[in-house]
Structure 1
Amino acid sequence: MELYSLFDPKWTRGDFRPKIDAYYYKQWVDFHMGFHAHGSIEIMYVIAGTCRVETQRQSIPMGKGEFILLDSGVIHRLVVEKDSPCRMLNVEFTFTACDGIHPSLAQTAANSPALRALLGRQTDYIVMSDPSDVYHTLKSLVMELDAGVGVDNGSMVHLLISQLLIRIARLAEDKRIDHASRQTDRYVRKAVEYIHQHYDCDIQAKDISAAVNLHPVYLQRIFRTGMNVTMADYLANVRIGKAKMLLAQTDIPIAEIADYVGLNSRQYFSLLFKKMTGDTPAAYRRSVETLKQREPNQEVVIVDMLK
């Protein structure tokens, strides 16, 4: 059996990429697998229910939203009890020459400190709890693989595998950090994501805190500590940043842009824009248009104005 350890340094010394060898959904009921090993690396993701993954040294209980990354050659088995069925998604992968499909694992790792740290470890397995990012990527990957032979999806499959490894690496890096700090950072990240996805709505601190399941006062405190800015100021910065982009890059009437960025009061939008940029929305649009007319090839200057 040829082994393809994730931690073998040769994969980042040459022009190699990960390659999916097998993947499947499976509902396990009252199942006791015999001990075995794969030449490939295996990801076992628990979609529902509970199970145990046993190695020759340990028994690892797993529940919904948890997954294990098993390295090549690790002897293991799956145990699912009769009264607790388990639905899983399994993916097995090895490595192959890039053959024109890039980025290589080495190039991906060069741009991801978390992935470099993961590849530098030597461990039989890593167990992690997923905030949903890994499962979303796994589902997208499986859907792309299921698109079938003859579909020009090689590059997309490769990009999704690379994304999957980076997401796993980030979770693994988070796990190495103090638990309290990790949880705090995760709440702040979720709040930031919510703001970026809902800035066009009339959202308040209570809406953001409800989305991350924290008390508003506590969330605002940890947000300010983690981001060095209040949640209200961060939301305002996002909104005005989007407004600057719309003023500079679209023909949307100024009177309507307030609605595009979640500020129902046009007067308040103008006051906030002037306070944060020094210009009224109309003056800002005119300045960008003038710059485009004078220097039509100076995109970099215009991009700088949008920051």
Structure 2
Amino acid sequence: MELFSLFDPKWTEGDYRPKIDAYYYKQWVDFHMGFHAHASIEIMYVITGTCRVETKRQSIAMGKGEFIVLDSGVTHRLVVEKDTPCRMLNVEFTFTACGGIHPSLAQMTGSSPALQSLLARQTDYILLSDPSDVYHTLKSLVMELDAGIEVDQASMVHLLISQLLIRIARLAEAEQIDKAGRQTDRYVRKAVEYIHQHYDCDIQAKDVSAAVNLHPVYLQRIFRTSMNVTMTDYLANVRIGKAKMLLARTDIPIAEIADYVGLNSRQYFSALFKKMTGDTPAAYRKSVETHKWREPSQEVVIVDMLE
């Protein structure tokens, strides 16, 4: 049996990509599987219920929202007790030559330190708890696989597999950070994500704190230590950064942009924008438009003179 270990360096030394070999949903009830092994790498995701995955060395309990990545060749079995049915989504994959479909695994690791770190491990399995990102990607992947075998569909499947591996790698990296005792980084990362997802709303530091379940004073302290900026200033930077993008790249009226970035007061928005950029919103938009216009207009004048 040819094995396709996730951690074999040859997959990143050559022009290879991951390839799905099998996938299925299954509701398990009172099930005791015999020990077996796959040539492929297997992802077992618990949608509902609980189960136990046993290797020759260990018994691993799993519940809703948890998943395990079992390496190729690892002997294992699934156990589901009678009173705790378990619904799972399983995906098995190997590696194949790219054949014109990119990015390759080598290209992916080159742009993702988390994936590079994951592939450097040597372990039988990786057990992770999913905030829902991995499951959404898995579902999209399975539905795309069911859709057909057109060229565009094959490319989409590969992009989704690539996304899946990077999401798993990021989760694995975050878990290692947490195990190393840097729990505060996890809270700060969640706070940053919340700010980027809600900057267009009327949020304050207390709202961010509530979202990550920490006392506002404590979160603000660890946020400043980790990010070298207060949470309030970080939120302001995000908002003004988005405002600059809208002023430069869209025709949205300046009077409305304050609402787009979560600042209900247009006067406050103008004052904050000038404080942080040195320009009023109107002056900033004009300077961008002048820069865009200058070079094309000069080229037109030169052409007219030559004619």
Q: TM-score w.r.t. structure 2 length?
A: 0.92
Alignment partner, residue 103 of structure 1: 103
Quote the residue 2:235 is aligned against.
235
1:247 corresponds to which letter in structure 2? L
1:113 equivalent in alignment to 2:79: no
Indicate the residue corresponding to 1:202 in structure 2: 202
Structure number, greater radius of gyration: 2
Q: Deviations over 1:127-175 (max 9, x none)?
A: 1122222222212211221222336211111111111111212222233
Deviation at 1:108, TM superposition (A): 0.8
Aligned partners of 1:175 and 1:182 also within 8 Å: no
Contact 2:174 2:186 in 1 (8 A): no
3-state SS of 1:73 partner: coil
- Report the identity percentage: 87
1:182 to partner: Cα distance: 4.3
Matched, 1:134 2:108: no
Measure how far apart 1:8 and its partner are: 1.4
Verify: 1:271 aligned to 2:271, yes or no.
yes
1:183 aligned residue: 183
| Residue deviations 1:256-307 (CA, integer Å, cap 9, x gap) | 111111111111011101100011111111111111121349xxxxxxxxxx
Contact 2:178 2:186 (8 Å CA) reproduced = no
Q: Match of 2:135, as an amino acid?
A: Y
What pairs with 1:234-253 in structure 2 (closer than 5 Å)? Answer: 234-253=234-253
Matched ranges for 1:247-262 at <5 A: 247-262=247-262
Runs of at least 5 residues in structure 1 that lack an aligned partner in the other structure:
298-307
Instruction: Provide the C-alpha distance between the structure 1 equivalents of 2:96 and 2:8, rounded to a whole number of angstroms.
Output: 13
Structure 1 distance, partners of 2:151, 2:101, is 15
- Give the Cα–Cα distance (whole angstroms) in 1 for the partners of residues 46 and 296 of structure 2: 54
CA contact (8 A) 1:44 1:90 kept: yes
| Residue aligning to 2:2 | 2
TM-score by length of 1: 0.92
RMSD over aligned CA atoms reads: 1.6
Look up the equivalent residue of 1:157 and give its one-letter code.
V
Question: In structure 2, the residue corresponding to 1:177 is in which secondary structure?
Answer: helix
My pick for the range that moved more, 285-294 or 14-23, is 285-294
Q: After the TM superposition, which segments of 4 or more aligned residues of structure 1 sit over 3 Å from their partners?
A: 180-183
Q: Number of paired residues?
A: 297
Partner of 2:219: 219
- Counterpart in 1 of 2:57? 57
8 A Cα contact 2:21 2:93, kept in partner? yes
Q: Which amino acid aligns with 2:219?
A: L
Tell whether the 8 Å contact from 1:28 to 1:80 is kept in structure 2 after alignment. yes
Q: d(CA) in 2 for partners of 1:176 and 1:197?
A: 25
